[in-house]
Amino acid sequence: MWIWEQEHWPDFQWDEHALKPMLRKIHFHQGLLLGKSDVESTEQATLDTLLASILYSCEIEGEKLNAASVRSSLANRLGISEVKPYPTSEQSEGMAEIALDVVERYNEPLTLKRILKWHELMFPTGYTVFNPIKGGQLRYGGMEVISGRIDKPIVHFEAPPAEKLQDELAKFIAWFNQSRDVFNLDPILRAAIVHLWFVTLHPMEDGNGRITRFLTDLVLAQGESRSIRFYAMSVSICECRKQYYEILEQTQRGGLDITDWMVWFLQTLNSTLVAKLKQIEGTVKKTRFWRRVDQSQLSQEQVKVLNRMLDGDFQQGINSSQYQKVAKVSRATATRHLNHLAAFGCLEKTEAGGRSTRYIVHHI
């Protein structure tokens, strides 16, 4: 029996007491992120976040998009000038339109027409020759998620039959719009429910996971209005996609208590926020570093290596051999450059000496 076959579907239950500690962490980190968001240009941060969200969400499904094409489509819609604009495609334009619809029209109610429009934009005519997907349509047949050999397939999940989709989607959309005003339903828990519910319905022939994650972003945007522009949960989901599919399968094979799914979702969202806060902290440190260092006193190779180190590479320090490879200079030049950077106050030696000598960034 699948979860959607349960007698009281979709009356989900969960242990709120078990979720409260993680919810407190998430709200704390959301507040920190919103407070630090002025470090980055809003438009540029939005572009970078939406680009990551689109690319990683597609990668979860095993699809690789042209990053430069998607970036140009987003930049055009955000009014950002690019030094070297890249040719866009119908698909990149469509994905950019969906992503902007999520963050700019989050206050508008969800409708089936809006979901089907997203699907149409995701699968433009001629999207693929070998397996053409008709965009903007609900599936007509059954839907199974399978793997393994053709003669011995493993069924991971079976979605509700096509004849039930209209009623099921009507319930989902009605709940989606009404639940926003439910005072005692935390917006983060609402996002976890929306994610599980829609991906379980699996109403399209293809693209269900991507639309699910767009809907999740829409709920998060409704819950906090602004900071969703600064982080992409799809990145964290992609990094642990094996666990993602495992917890979905476990939940969809179970009863209506979805506490385990909620825990996984909250932990993944919190990891996303923590990673973004670390990135901002790194940006602040990098900015402070270059404010006190006169780049005109350094060679191009030295600046290149320092930027790599400030971006998080060589966290255990860099030695002369590594410097030589990155800067593409001789070993003697590498040693001279490192000594100069240490004397100039950019780097400092670690305690290990001799051949184990390493240099780390000197922050003030």
Q: What is the pLDDT of residues 290-311, one digit of tens each?
A: 888 888 899 999 999 999 988 8
What is residue 131's predicted lDDT score, i.e. its pLDDT?
59
Residues of the chain with pLDDT under 70: 37-41, 126-131, 225-228, 352-356, 364
Q: Cα 138 to the chain's mean position, in Å? A: 26
The 10 Å CB-count burial string (b at 16+, else e) for 331-361 is eebbbebbeebeeeebbeeeeeeeeeebbeb
pTM for this entry? 0.83
Helical H segments across 155-258, by residue range = 165-179, 187-201, 208-224, 233-239, 241-252
CB 222 within 8 A of CB 107: yes
Query: DSSP characters for 286-337?
Result: HHHHHHHS-GGGS-HHHHHHHHHHHTTS-TT-B-HHHHHHHHT--HHHHHHH
Look at residue 350 and give its three-state secondary structure: coil
What is residue 125's predicted lDDT score, i.e. its pLDDT?
76
CB 202 within 8 A of CB 87: no
What is residue 243's predicted lDDT score, i.e. its pLDDT?
96
Look at residue 348 and give its three-state secondary structure: strand
